[in-house]
Chains A and B, each alone.
Chain A
Amino acid sequence: MGGFPILSVMTFLPLAGALLVMLVRAATAGSSKGESSSQSRKAVLLAAFIISAATFVASVAAFFAFDPSVDGYQLVEQYAWYGPISYKLGIDGLSLSLVLLTTFLTPICLLASWNSIEKRVTEYVIAFLVLETFMIGVFVSLDLVLFYIFFEAGLIPMFLIVGIWGGKDRVYAAFKFFLYTLIGSLLMLIAMVYMILAAGSADFEVLEKFAFAPGIQTWLWLAFMASFAVKLPMWPVHTWLPDAHVQAPTAGSVILAGVLLKMGGYGMLRFSLPMFPDASALFQPAMFALAVIAIVYTSLVAWRQTDMKKLIAYSSVAHMGFVTLGIFAFNETGVQGAIFQMLSHGLISGALFLIVGVVYDRMHTREIAAYGGLVNRMPIYASFFMLFTMANVGLPGTSGFVGEILTMVGGFQAATWAAAGAALGVIFSAVYMLTLYRRTVFGEITNPHLNDIKDMNIVEWICIAPLAALTILFGVAPNLIFNLTDSSTARVLSLMAGGQ
């Protein structure tokens, strides 16, 4: 221990920023009578952007302080708290890569709100910054109680972002989102209490080595999975996602698809496999079945959608199916592929929601039928959209391919039928994405409102271009990520093998 507490700084920087924004706002509220003029609105967004950018810099510093060749958790900070509970932070390659994804996407989200969020901007950025702290906290916590606090608390700002800044049916969507995630969390809490009592510690490193009896494991596994399955989401507890996405503001969708879903996959890798190895093995066929159903079923549903965001939301469920498949393959290719798929999906689906946001800001509709022929007016937009369409269908050379092929290769080694089922999804993804693209971008302009539509502006460029660059970079040189996640994958698998 000792040294500079970089993880704590990184985690709580956004929260501190949120407090700062709140204080400044309270101080100036009297003078401007709470009316948020355009100028103060931008000032608030800019302040939030700078805070989140600083957080990104902090996470990059953590990246450089991290040594991927060393096994186990690094940069650990631990302070006793209460009995078996302690304040303990630390990272391995898995958590670091997800932290980087979070800190990278948050500034983009705030920037993407530049023109689209009109009301209660101060509260909006506070919600976002608080959310960022909680998201980072989830990935760096090494203590059950701490983890649970971050994991649950993250629900609240997300709930507010959908419920306040969302679309027409935002309350229903927020309710559904809250309901689903809360149920899982409650079961997880009970399981956690049991674990702490049984092991006498809430420390991950202790729990990883503690061998729970196989019978108990099954129940603990189910309780945790109730939460992770909702988060990821897996079929059949996925139906909150399309509603939440459709109603959420663009930035909310980006962070939801980009980071929040990954908590499910992260949880499986951090808890289910290493702590309950026997139960994981027991449930492997069921998880494969659910993964394949998720991939095939939601891909077909995605094809039938008339709402752009709903289509991409369903496509997210399908892509998360590959994550489940890879994780439960219990081999290096599968797990590495699953981690990669999570990161890649964070970039690609985030970008796709931004892409939808670009035209939504102009036309205020997400109906596919309202578009058509965009390429005639927005060629640059069309090019970016094409890139992410291809990335989403897993074209080799984009990051989308690497995750899909590795999870399938890994899955094939465990159960051929699961890989074959997942591969079917690769066909369907082409169907729904190309249909979406063709209906919105290709063709003649039929809707007269589209005649004066403008191509991407500078803010949209700044949001989308980095995602495009990373999608290609990680597609061509994925080893950049594998080098980072290599040892944590090996660790998960060895813990699992040790337990069995």
Chain B
Amino acid sequence: MLPDSLLIYIVLAPGVAALTGLFHKWIGDRVVMTVTTGVVLSCGALSIYQLIAYAAGIGGAAEAVHHASGYDAYLTAGVEAAHVELRQHIITLMPWIHVGDFQANWAIRVDTLSIVMMAVITGVSGLVHLYSWGYMSEDPHKSRFFAYLSLFTFMMLMLVVADNFIQLFFGWEGVGLASYLLIGFWYTKKAPNDASIKAFVTNRVGDFGLALGIMAVFFVFKSVEFGPVLEAIRTNAVVTPMFAEAAPAREAVMVFFGERVYALELIGILLFIGAMGKSAQFFLHVWLPDAMEGPTPVSALIHAATMVTAGVYLVCLLSPIYEYTFYASGMVALVGAVTALYAATVGMAQNDIKRVIAYSTCSQLGYMFFAAGVGAYEAAMFHLFTHAFFKALLFLGAGSVIHGMHHEQDMRRMGGLAKFMPLTYAAMMIGTIAIIGLGLPHTKLGFSGFFSKDAILESAFAGATAGVSFAEVAFWFGLLAAFLTSFYSWRLIYMTFHGPAPHEAHAHDAHAHDAHAHDAHGQDAHAHDDHARDDHGHGHDHKPHESPLVMLIPLALLSIGAVFAGFYFYDAFVDANNEAFWAGAIYRAETNHVLHDRHNVPEWVLWAPLVVTVGGFLIATFTYFFNRGVGARVAASGGPLHALFSNKWYFDEIYQATLVRGSAFLGNLFWKADKKVIDGIGPDGLAKLAGMSSRRLSLMHSGYLYHYAFVIIGAAIIFGAVLWLRSGGVN
């Protein structure tokens, strides 16, 4: 474990580094870039060292627990014990909001969960900073970009080290701000502006749930700190929610909208709504694909590896809550399973290389959620961890392709890139093999996705056997999604890197492309295609080129993680040493054995993922490698299923027609009510009644009688409302 000073450095230094962006006029772009990149890389190195040392130490025995001075909370943990004592260290920086029982501090909470998250965040962020030296080299606003990246890193760290719900919310909304600023980084263009607002507002819908969840937590536990709240659930201590009788925490009942509901169920569901927004789960996923309008390094860092996993982190952190709920955890499992499958179907039919990967992210997040929903939180965190490597790798690889193709993102205008950018190709192959989870059951041979994804599917099956709600749905949806994942991932590789290179026969392709772009993408993407085409215009004489070294180094390092992270950390995260590793940071109820029972699943369950993965590979190979025309013909034939998938199941259209239009209608209606009804009856009406024009102020005194009348009528209305509310009994 690192000493306090270094932990504080890791969390706060990126925030300070971000501030250098304010002074870029005086110190210049290069200083800002060097400071931010240097700081975040150093944080990354420290955090990864910490994680590796931590995991390695656990492998030995209890003596691995560090006993450095000041680490009073890091007390011995009985490795053999079924439920390990919570090992946690909290550094309180300063008080934040102290009002009565509402006590929130600025703090750094160090436990296994935050150690894992810190390594993922700063590790990926450092590499993305480095990569951006190449990718953003021609952008005139480099300082702003790097400052935002560091700001994001800081906010994300504040989120994962919070020791209370309020600091978590600070980080939660803070990463939303950074995401908003980075999606809309190219602020003169329409599409990024639209996408950034959509992202922020959709997240706010989720935050609505999160905020209510936090209020409910305070209502029941009279605290907003994780420590006392989670401890009360772990020990089933007696709590007294307002207006309700005292009861053990797990059975406590509270009144919500006049209904008596189980407090934990309500809290779990409300908080999960927040997680759905941040992690782009079904119903609230619509912002994530549009977020691809941001620069590609941003997509890799925020919209793949870190920010979107915050929801998964939240559910795992609050495992004591979800362990003792039926509906809330069922909802987590169901929403996760549906998202995993839904996003995979859409991912099959997209042509923008970044959107394919975006839907893939959405789908993989679904896996993490249903893992957590069935009680395999460790597997969810493991997948979060491995996914960070291979998804960041895929995104940065895609960025390398886009960079090499002079800002072309439409895969139909790519092809044959393998020979122009062999290193990028190799990196993308590694990422693809990792995401489809290739590996041999019963052995430890496989890429990192194999270890985590199979652990999830096996856990889901074990959960189904044990009768966990929606575990069976999760297993089958997950298996089907694995098939689709393999298909769209290979489709991406074939369309991009294999076959003829369209730039060699560009004139021939261009017309066909226009026709497709319209029906396949709809309006949003259309504007985006335009800009891609503009950029392409001046560059299309140049051949695609391999990216500079500064972009390839991050690819190489992530590739190492994508290959070995699963193998190396398997024991610690989900297998033999998992209890010692998590050290109570993830809580499991006495009845929850899914992680253990997954070793007892039937033989076919172990092989099924491999079979569907190979199946997906074969079909993709047949349709996009040997017969390159088949895929395009399916798309052109415009079958209903293809239309549904390529239009993302029409979510945008439905939301536009209902929520957006509906709110606009109400807004206009209320505005009219202000002018016609309230003013009409109120001041304007009085003025008319008194027979004076609004310009003849001198006569105003004659209106007094009517003022009284107006107030009395108003009072009568209010009074009536009181009586109604009193009798109606709406709480």
Contacts and interface: CB of A to CB of B under 8 A. Distances in A.
A84 B323 CA distance: 65
B679 interface: yes
Given A179-B686, A332-B99, A390-B177, A239 B674 contact: yes
A412 interface: yes
Given A183-B710, A282-B722, A427-B205, A175 B174 contact: no
A286 B193 CA distance: 40
Nearest to A443: B188
A430 B683 contact: no
Contacts of B668: 304
A428 to B, nearest CB: 8
A130 B94 CA distance: 42
A226 B714 CA distance: 9
Interface in B658-703: 663-664, 666-668, 670-671, 674-675, 678-679, 682-683, 686-687, 694-695, 697, 700, 703
B170 A397 contact: yes
A182 B703 CA distance: 11
B695 A423 contact: no
Nearest to A290: B718
A298 B491 CA distance: 49
B633 interface: no
A336 B99 contact: yes
Given A179-B686, A413-B219, A442 B187 contact: yes
Nearest to B718: A286
A476 B96 CA distance: 6
A494 interface: no
A360 interface: no
A171 B94 contact: no
- Size range of the chain A interface in the assembly: 35 or more
Nearest to A171: B695
A476 to B, nearest CB: 7
B102 interface: yes
A428 B170 CA distance: 19
B12 interface: no
A301 B675 CA distance: 11
Contacts of A438: 184, 193, 197
A186 to B, nearest CB: 7
B242 A413 contact: yes
A189 B99 CA distance: 35
Interface in B696-717: 697, 700, 703-704, 707-708, 710-711, 714-715
B725 A286 contact: yes
Contacts of A430: 200-201, 204
A26 interface: no
Contact of B201 (A289, A427, A478): A427
B714 A179 contact: no
B241 to A, nearest CB: 10
B23 to A, nearest CB: 12
Contacts of A442: 184, 187-188, 193
Contacts of A444: 188
Q: Chain A interface secondary structure, helix, strand, loop or mixed?
A: helix
A426 B96 CA distance: 21
A263 B687 CA distance: 27
A489 to B, nearest CB: 9
B188 A239 contact: no
B731 interface: yes
A180 B683 contact: yes
B714 A237 contact: yes
B293 interface: no
B97 interface: yes
A417 interface: yes
B256 interface: yes
- Size range of the chain B interface in the assembly: 35 or more
Contact of A396 (B169, B200, B218, B682): B169
B108 interface: no
Contacts of B187: 375, 441-443
B257 A183 contact: no
Contacts of A176: 683, 694
A137 B613 CA distance: 77
Interface stretch (A5-13, A55-63, A400-408): A400-408
B208 A426 contact: yes
B204 A426 contact: yes
A385 interface: no
Contacts of A83: none
Contacts of B256: 416
Contacts of B679: 239
A236 interface: yes
Nearest to B704: A186
A171 B201 CA distance: 39
Contacts of B619: none
B99 A182 contact: no
A390 B714 CA distance: 36
A479 interface: yes
A171 B698 CA distance: 12
Contact of B683 (A239, A373, A376): A239
A126 B65 CA distance: 72
B392 to A, nearest CB: 27
A383 B711 CA distance: 44
B174 A408 contact: no
Contacts of B719: 222
Nearest to B681: A236
B714 to A, nearest CB: 7
B197 A333 contact: no
A447 to B, nearest CB: 14
Contact of B678 (A236, A401, A408, A412): A236
A228 interface: no
A179 B205 CA distance: 39
Nearest to B198: A434
B502 to A, nearest CB: 31
A65 interface: no
B442 interface: no
B507 interface: no
B508 interface: no
A187 B711 contact: yes
Interface stretch (B209-217, B550-558, B586-594, B642-650): B209-217
Contact of B711 (A184, A297, A412, A478): A184
A416 B715 contact: no
Nearest to A373: B188
Given A297-B670, A423-B208, A286 B722 contact: yes
A325 interface: no
22 contacts: A171-B697, A175-B687, A175-B700, A186-B707, A285-B725, A297-B670, A301-B667, A301-B671, A303-B664, A395-B173, A395-B174, A396-B170, A405-B211, A405-B214, A406-B99, A408-B211, A431-B197, A434-B200, A435-B197, A477-B94, A477-B96, A479-B96
Given A286-B721, A333-B102, A397-B170, 6 more contacts: A172-B694, A179-B686, A331-B100, A396-B174, A443-B193, A479-B95
Closest 3 CB pairs of A and B: A396-B170, A300-B667, A285-B725
